[in-house]
Homo-oligomer: A and B are copies of this chain.
Amino acid sequence: MSIVVIYGSTRQEGNTERLTGRVIEGLDVEEIYLRDFNIQPIDDYRHADGGFPDVDDDYDQLVERMMKHDTFIFATPIYWYSMTGTMKNFIDRWSQTMRDTNFPGFKEQLGTKKAYVVAVGGDKPQVKGLPLIQQFSYIFDFMSISFEGYAIGKASRPGDILKDTSAFLAAAILNEKLKESQ
């Protein structure tokens, strides 16, 4: 098993990254910080004659890095009750990749992957973060990705997450599960 963490946060070493740190403790993982890259929003050419034009940004190389692994961890702060726009733009572009001849079998390959979600929010995330979990579940179902588990943490100010011992225990559970499947 080989793991990639895809971070949607826009702040360095924030609460989401700390909680995710517990999830991947002792594991060898590749980490992609989406904020460090130029990812354009999708421009919907699904139904245009020539299909999608090439986009001059970093998206393709990130997908290549992601697809080398068989287990994905999506780690995102909860902004306005969903993933960050930064992560959403990355996932929106999957619609393009599904039609990109440079990525043949993209959907089929995703169907062999496993995924975890780590999400941290400030406003009752254990309840108000559930639509986000449902959205991820639908995304994974569409791609036949196996949804292996999630951890939700509560935090607003830097370091807050350290007080959410429940979240760290939930993260430890995911850590155990990841270790077992390695």
Contact = CB atoms under 8 A, between A and B. Distances in A.
Interface of A: 9-11, 14, 35, 41-45, 47, 77, 79-86, 88-92, 94-95, 123, 126-128, 130-135, 137-139, 142, 147, 149-150, 157-158, 165-166, 169-170, 172-173, 176-177
Contact of A123 (B35, B41, B142, B173): B142
10 contacts: A9-B44, A11-B45, A35-B43, A41-B89, A79-B88, A81-B139, A88-B88, A126-B149, A135-B135, A169-B173
Contacts of A169: 169-170, 172-173
Contact of A134 (B88, B92, B127): B127
A127 B133 contact: yes
Q: Which of A14, A88, A172 has the most CB atoms of chain B within a 10 A radius of its CB? A: A88
